[in-house]
Amino acid sequence: MSGDVLVVGGGVVGLTTAVVLAESGRGVHMWTREPAEETTSAVAGALWWPYRIEPQELVGDWSLASLRVYEKLAARPEETGVRLVAGIHADVRPADLGPWAAQVEGLREAEADELPDGYAGGLWARIPLIDMPVHLGWLRRRFEAAGGTVELRTVSSFAQAAKRARVVVNCTGLGARELALDDQLRPVRGQLVLVENPGIEEWFTAADHASATTTYFFPQPGRLILGGTAEDDDWRLTPDPATAEQIVARCARIRPEIAGARILGHRAALRPARPQGVRIEAEPLPGGGVLVHNYGHGGAGVTVAWGCAHAAARLVRRADPAP
């Protein structure tokens, strides 16, 4: 089975990693507990921006590698789900960002008349905003076009996966807490409200670092996504009605027309956060196989997906140089 790779996990990180490996000439198979449209990735906002992710010394390069891919994909938004959209990060200064920010074209301090009342500063950017249901479908089609196969299957251990391929790639997100015995992996709960878009064309974010609340809205095709929360160690997947009301109220303080927007739905999901940051490393498996980890992306799985996929692929090549 030299040259074959089994990717475990079918969210945006798993699918992107599978695409990179399959397009390099590998025989790649995927086992995923649920279809892509039911994963945490499908719930994501998903604005390109390094948010709640470590380690900082690596995140910049991973993020920029992904940004370059998304900038190209934005030429075909209906197909890929990627668009370049302008917006404001309130209460963020250039000094708050790493060296990566200098390579984001057009990123600048917001003008006073661009900021909502109550905000003294912020950054203006035109960056990728990704319609995740469309993008995940596109990733799967691209993977299958490269010869990859997807099987709905729950994995009980990586030893089980090693019977299928010599190289196994762990992209299980929060599932790695049990599968990889990593008790440092913790959930950060996020809740969203989907409403009819009352005509808003730009995104907005404002993070309250002193609490578990954030305020943001992202205009996606057919809906406006309102958020949000960042609740550490909260495993609840059922949306909370009181939290939803608070999200709408916070967003309506920025854009009053949101208050009257018809609600289309509610979402809640768990970000896979890890204090030490993303884990991309290899370890041996029983029988001479190799396990490559690629998990712990916190709130920025979409942002670093392509950079991390290439980093994981390099470990696969080192472990098994074929083909």
**Amino acid residing at 6:** L
What is the rounded distance in angstroms from the CA atom of residue 236 to the CA atom of residue 321?
42
Q: What is the pLDDT of residue 323?
A: 61
The angle that helices 12-23 and 132-145 make with each other, rounded to 10 degrees, is: 30
| Mean per-residue pLDDT, 26-52 | 91
What is the CB neighbour count within 10 angstroms for residue 223? 17
Give the count of beta carbons closer than 10 Å to the beta carbon of residue 264.
14
Query: How much is the pTM?
Result: 0.95
pLDDT, tens only, 237-264: 999 999 999 999 999 999 999 999 999 9
For the cut 90, the answer to whether the pLDDT of residue 52 exceeds it is no
Domain-located, residue 254: no
Average per-residue pLDDT for the chain: 94
Mean pLDDT value across residues 28-54: 91
Provide the pLDDT for residue 3.
Answer: 63
User: Is 237 inside a domain boundary?
Assistant: no
Transcribe 161-201 into DSSP letters. Answer: HHTT-SEEEE--GGGHHHHT--TT-EEEEEEEEEE---S--
322 band by pLDDT with thresholds 50, 70 and 90: low
Between 93 and 29, the more confident residue is: 29
Q: How far is CA 39 from CA 26, 80, 100, 269, 271, in A?
A: 25, 18, 29, 9, 11
Helix (H, G, I), strand (E, B) or coil at 39: coil
- Average pLDDT, integer, range 146-166: 94
Nearest to 137 by CA among 79, 85, 72, 219: 79
Report if residue 215 sits inside a domain.
no
- State yes or no: pLDDT of 210 exceeds 90: no
Q: Is residue 192 part of a domain?
A: no
The domain that holds 176 is classified in CATH as 3.40.50.720
Q: DSSP labels for 76-104?
A: SHHHH-EEEEEEEEET--GGGS-GGGGGS
Task: Please give the single-letter amino acid code of residue 35.
Answer: P
**Count of structural domains, the chain:** 1
Q: In this predicted structure, what is the pLDDT of residue 1?
A: 43
Q: What is the mean pLDDT of the segment spanning 130-140? A: 97
What per-residue confidence (pLDDT) applies to 321? 80
Q: How many residues does the chain have?
A: 323
Average pLDDT of the residues in 109-131: 95
Please state, in angstroms and rounded to a whole number, the distance separating the CA atoms of residues 285 and 167.
9
| Section 48-75 average pLDDT | 95
What's the domain range around 290?
A: 4-83+129-185+274-319
91 pLDDT higher than 80:
yes
